[in-house]
Structure 1
Amino acid sequence: MNYIIFGGTGFIGTHLINLLKAEAVNPSDKIYALDIVMPGEEGVVPGIVERIEGVEYIRCDVRKPIDFDIAATTDDIIFNFAAVHRTPGHLDYQYFETNLYGAENVTAFAVEHDIKKILFTSSIAPYGAAEELKEETTLPTPNTAYGTSKLVAEQIHEKWQAGDPKRELTIVRPGVVYGKGEHGNFTRLYWGQRKHYFFYPGRKDTVKSCIYVKELARFMKYRMIDNDFPGVDVFNCTFEPAYTIGQICREMQKATDMKRFVPLIPGWILMTAAVCMVPFGGMKLGLHPARVKKLMVSTNICGKKLAASGYEFYYSFEETLRDWYEDCGRKGLQ
């Protein structure tokens, strides 16, 4: 049996591989990690993405037809994590170029090798930015190039599944994914509090739906390895109910033994400061107008379907933060 992981040297891919190695892989199984960058190269997050024994790493650009020869079996599984995702940070066409061509080429690879199981990691971005609660049945109204590209990529995968009723497709729409090696929203939030440069932007009740990377990997294993689910299904992957930014900050401080007072500053003041700081390296501190705006708007994603799916969460929210802290040697969240 082969586990074929596109985007396999990335944040989620590496955590999934560690879980597979620990709990799923038999001696005759093979894990292939395909990515445009290899462990140890520039562009790969240090400290988390290292070569893992027993994994075959293959350089692959999903924007091009996938030329990868494999002795496929009927039980093989594809995990498609390959994407351009960081916002802000890319030109609009780059999201479409990677996310659409990637979906087309990965599904064509599956057809060529008669692989019948794919898990595709989408995003909550197709819902668009708004305060209203979003369920899997909510009409997507993306308002960014990234969100639009992810929605179309979902449809490309759905078209692949429709070609054969025996094919299995799971689409996950994770909230903010955090854990060791993230170096993103939660990492910036932690260091912003620790170094006293994070402020609540006009409110503390902004909802920020989120999921621990190890929990997400466990749900993927549950769907694709532990069970069979012919057809197609979509899951918001978040804690239910979702947490507010105020709750997240308090739990983060508690889990990491940090005591901080976080002031509440009017949003317009922070937005003005962010605009002024852009030419002076504000991005490095997370003080960018797009990021301030994201903090002021809820990502209110409903996780009830996941909670009712039969999957049992392995961690509580507080336990995820403590586990992450332990993974980092209790030296801070990285």
Structure 2
Amino acid sequence: MCMNVAIIGGSGFVGSKLIDKLLEGKDIASIVNIDKNKSVKHVSLWREGNVLDIETLTKLLSGVDIVILLAAEHRDDVSPTSLYYDVNVQGMHHTLAAMEANSIKRLIFTSSVAVYGLDKDNPGETFPVDPFNHYGISKWQAEQVLQEWYVNHGDWNINIVRPTVIFGEGNRGNVFNLLKQIASGKFMMIGAGNNQKSMSYVGNVVAFIQFMMEEVKSGYNVYNYVDKPDFTTNDLVYHTGKILGKNIPSVKIPYAIGMFGGYCFDLLAFVTRRKLSISSVRVKKFCAVTKYDSTKAMSSGFLPPFSMEEGLRRMLNEEFNT
């Protein structure tokens, strides 16, 4: 059966890659990308809309069979912090209401492993939640909205993906900034560098979303998405140097000094009212163990099309080796 697909928040990094992937398939009748930001790559599929505008959202979801909700406030430095809850939580309420008005009963929602918090012991989907920042708290609250909704909508199919940090060609997030520093040869390690960093290559994430669209059509399901093996920060430095053919210096700064520097940048950002690329939160996240279990996803029948090293190679060659 061919599906009419709506992607809410599809103009960004993951959304653009997902549209590329779905356009390769044979079971898609139509795709609409509903986003407040105009799509650069898929202009003809873009319709201006916002999860905070329920009236427009309801109109744009007419005739749709399945909704993929990617829209979110996710940066570390969103201000005011109420935006996390407006977009991530109230936006979920609006999405569900707009879907119900159009008799749409299938939803794929990208949440986050941020719901588990930092430095946890390889959490799986049943692990207790303990978010440490507004992003993680708001994502968990959005999931709670879905849990409550499903109680009275048991005939719906709700699939939640909790990806870890996503990297890939065209990404301009934390992984890109880290790899850019490593590739420049001016990288300084904070801490010993032995902390494991679960990551996900965008080509695999969008393939998993397509897999759920085609294969997971009933029930309420939650999946972590993590590509294996988990690299340490030292592994990232090693593979980056190997792929780019560079000798990366191994200067290391003690964690306490790194955190002190992060707090100094926090103060500078406050005084100047500017958003800076370094902060105490980012130093803490950089040094934390962020290892997550993905056994459930990898036992579902899904086979990632790319290895971790291949994903890293594709990104590095595209961004830094041209």
* TM-score over 0.5 (shorter chain): yes
Q: Corresponding residue for 1:42?
A: none
- Mapped to 1, the partners of 2:186 and 2:119 lie a distance apart of 26
Unaligned runs of 5+ residues in structure 2 are: none
Is the CA contact (8 Å cut-off) linking 1:3 and 1:32 kept in structure 2? yes
CA contact (8 A) 1:135 1:236 kept: yes
Name the SS for the 2:54 alignment partner: coil
In structure 2, what is the Cα distance between the partners aligned to 1:22 and 1:328? Answer: 24
Q: How far apart, CA to CA, are the structure 2 residues paired with 1:141 and 1:284? A: 26
Aligned equivalents of 2:133 and 2:255: distance in 1? 22
Q: Indicate the percent of aligned positions where both proteins have the same amino acid.
A: 28
Q: Is the 8 A contact 1:240 1:307 kept in 2?
A: no
Residue of structure 2 equivalent to 1:114: 103
Determine if the alignment matches structure 1 residue 294 to structure 2 residue 282: no
Query: Helix, strand or coil for the counterpart of 1:251?
Result: helix
SS at match of 1:79: strand
- How many Å apart are 1:240 and its aligned residue? 3.2
Q: Distance in 2 between matches of 1:167 and 1:248?
A: 41
- Please point out which of 42, 50, 57 is paired with 1:52: 42
Q: Give the AA of the match of 1:10.
A: G
SS in 2 for 1:157: helix
Deviation (angstroms), 1:199: 1.9
When residues 315 and 246 of structure 1 are mapped into structure 2, their CA distance, relative to the original with a 3 A threshold, is: same
CA deviations over 1:103-131 (Å, ceiling 9, x no partner): 01111111111112110000111111124
- 1:55-70 aligned at under 5 Å gives the runs 55-67=44-56, 68-70=59-61
> Would you say the 8 A contact 1:274–1:288 is kept in 2?
yes
Match for residue 160 of structure 2 among 162, 171, 186: 171
Distance 2:5 2:125 in 1: 27
SS in 2 for 1:130: coil
Whether the 8 Å CA contact 1:135–1:301 is kept in 2: the answer is: yes
Task: Using structure 1 for the length normalisation, give the TM-score.
Answer: 0.87
Figure out how many residues of one structure are paired with residues of the other and give that number. Answer: 314
RMSD of equivalent CA atoms: 2.2
Structure 2 CA distance for aligned equivalents of residues 208 and 285 of structure 1: 23
Aligned equivalent of 1:189: 178
User: Do the aligned residues in 1 keep the contact of 2:6 with 2:61 (CA within 8 Å)?
Assistant: no
Unaligned runs of 5+ residues in structure 1 are: 40-49
In structure 2, distance between residues paired with 1:217 and 1:69: 23
1:320 aligned residue = 311
> 1:140: how far off?
0.4
| Match 1:222 to one of 211, 220, 226 | 211
Q: Which residue of 2 aligns with 1:253?
A: 241
1:251 counterpart letter in structure 2: H
Query: What amino acid is aligned across from residue 310 of structure 2 in structure 1?
Result: E
**Aligned twin of 2:298:** 307
**Map of 1:32 onto structure 2:** 32
1:157 corresponds to 2:159: no
Alignment of 1:101 with 2:103, yes or no, is no
Aligned counterpart, 2:122: 133
> Shift of residue 326 of structure 1?
4.2
Indicate the residue corresponding to 1:22 in structure 2.
24
The answer on whether the counterparts of 1:240 and 1:304 sit within 8 Å (CA) in structure 2 is no
2:74 equivalent in structure 1: 85
CA pair 272-24 structure 1, distance change in 2 beyond 3 A: farther
Q: Tell me if the contact between 1:104 and 1:156 (Cα under 8 Å) persists in the aligned partners.
A: yes
- Is residue 2:227 matched to residue 1:239? yes
Distance 2:234 2:276 in 1: 20
CA contact (8 A) 1:95 1:145 kept: yes
Query: Post-superposition shift, 1:270?
Result: 1.7
Q: Matches of 2:61 and 2:69 in 1, distance apart? A: 17
